[in-house]
Structure 1
Amino acid sequence: MRHLEGKTALVSGGGSGIGKAIVEQLSEDGVNTAIADLHLPVNLPSGAIPYTCDVTDGRAVDALFAKVQQQLGTPDMLVCSAGQGIHEKLTEGDPEKWQQVINTNLMGTLRMIRAFVPGMLAAGQGDVVLVTSVAAGQAYPYGGVYAATKTALQVIAETLRQEVLPSIRVTVVAPGVTDTPFFENSLSGYQTVESIGYGALSPSQVADAVLYALRQPPGVSINNITLRPTEQVF
């Protein structure tokens, strides 16, 4: 396994949930980690640098890029974890909310890739991790818009992998139900871990999967990891 100490990373959505757990584990490994989020944690792990950023806003991502470059340089690792849920019927839902989810889950990730990956290419190395969902490719009632964004990210990841090999490794980590503030922060629809009824992963278990991929030696790529509570049906 590769040692990550002394490396640099940027985690979008790193202020809570899965993103925060990833930041904590990177920091434990000695990685200098930038956190980009709308809401930043009060108690930061050692080596973590907070940046308030709305990934749906191109100017905000440009400003983030300038600050990260100035303080950390080009990150060795980019983890795109920012995301938002929605639970609405396609015949009854609010298109404005759908657009917000698309802007966060899909366009936000694309903006981060466009801003930071060219520097990785110039450096000749790097890792990109996209946190998606088992909802990718999975049609289910009330989940059309959310699942569509996660499906799109799967295609984006594979396209990026082909465009940047062999310099940069691209990994998709697709968790199932995870016990985070995700459900309470969804734009609409009411679900909880308990109402779904499959049990739940912890954020640290998802972060373990991310770190497993990042710790692989050069020349070894873990491109897709799916993990879910054992009871989860899809």
Structure 2
Amino acid sequence: MHHLKDRKAVISGGGAGIGQAVASSLAAQGVRTAVADVQLPEIMQENIHAFKCDVSSGPSIDSLFANVQESIGSPDMLICCAGRGIHEKLTEGDPEKWRQIIDVNLMGALRMVRAFVPGMLEAGFGDVVFISSVSAGQAYPYGGIYAATKSALEIVAETLRQEVLPTVRVSVVAPGVTNTAFFENTVSGSQSVESIGYGFISPEEVAEAVLYALARPKGVSVNYMTVRPTGQPF
């Protein structure tokens, strides 16, 4: 982990769940960390800078960019964790809700890339990590919109990797069922980690995978990792 000390990170969705676990782990390794989320906990770690931000809004991203530059400088790590779930049938669901999911899960990550990766290219080094899902490429009833955003996100990740190599490393971490408030905050649907029935992993275990990718020596890339409960079939 000595490769992480004194680096600078910005994390979307860093106020809870996987994003918060990543932020806490990075800060513990001496990384100057900025987190962005629509809702932030009342107490953050002392060395974490927290900013309210809606990643689906261009002006909100512009404000975040200015705040991050002022607080920690130009980050050399971007971790895109912001995301929401939805669980409804394509022939019965609400297209306006689908748009919300696309705006956060896909457009939010694209806006973060557009804002922060040019600075990494200019500096000559950086890392981008996208939190995807095992649902990417996996069609299942009621999961079409969410799975589609994660499939698209992985295409974005691979496109970005090819566009910025060898200057910036790009990694995808695809978790399975994770015990966070994700299911409580889905736009529609009533699943829980218990009702899915595959077991679950903790957000800290996903964060360990993120840190593993980030801590590789310069010139070594970990481009894709799947982390899921052993009993999960997909």
Q: TM-score, normalised by structure 1?
A: 0.99
Q: Secondary structure at the match of 1:116?
A: helix
* Aligned residue number for residue 108 of structure 2: 108
The alignment yields a C-alpha RMSD, in angstroms, of: 0.7
8 Å Cα contact 1:27/1:46 also seen in 2: no
* Aligned residue number for residue 64 of structure 2: 64
Question: Matched residues in 1 for 2:197 and 2:122: separation?
Answer: 47
User: Deviation of residue 2 (structure 1)?
Assistant: 4.3
Question: Matched residues in 1 for 2:160 and 2:74: separation?
Answer: 18
Q: Secondary structure at the match of 1:184?
A: helix
* Aligned residue number for residue 73 of structure 1: 73
- Equivalent positions of 1:65-214 (< 5 A) are 65-214=65-214
8 Å Cα contact 1:85/1:183 also seen in 2: yes
8 Å Cα contact 1:132/1:154 also seen in 2: yes
* Aligned residue number for residue 35 of structure 2: 35
CA deviations over 1:36-79 (Å, ceiling 9, x no partner): 00111222123100100000000000111111112211101000
* 2:16 paired with 1:4: no
8 Å Cα contact 2:49/2:71 also seen in 1: no
CA deviations over 1:72-125 (Å, ceiling 9, x no partner): 111010000000000000000000000000000000000000000001000000
8 Å Cα contact 2:157/2:171 also seen in 1: yes
8 Å Cα contact 1:80/1:130 also seen in 2: yes
8 Å Cα contact 1:77/1:127 also seen in 2: yes
% identical aligned pairs: 64
Question: Matched residues in 1 for 2:211 and 2:190: separation?
Answer: 31
Structure 1 runs not aligned, ≥5 long? none
Question: Matched residues in 1 for 2:90 and 2:186: separation?
Answer: 16
CA deviations over 1:7-55 (Å, ceiling 9, x no partner): 1100000000000000010011011100100111222123100100000
Question: Matched residues in 2 for 1:215 and 1:60: separation?
Answer: 30
User: Deviation of residue 3 (structure 1)?
Assistant: 2.5
8 Å Cα contact 1:86/1:146 also seen in 2: yes
Question: Matched residues in 1 for 2:220 and 2:130: separation?
Answer: 17
Question: Matched residues in 1 for 2:93 and 2:179: separation?
Answer: 25
Question: Matched residues in 2 for 1:66 and 1:14: separation?
Answer: 17
Moved more, 63-72 or 106-115: 63-72
8 Å Cα contact 1:130/1:173 also seen in 2: yes
Structure 2 runs not aligned, ≥5 long? none
The amino acid across from 1:227 in the alignment is V
Question: Matched residues in 1 for 2:46 and 2:29: separation?
Answer: 10
The amino acid across from 2:10 in the alignment is L
Question: Matched residues in 2 for 1:147 and 1:16: separation?
Answer: 21
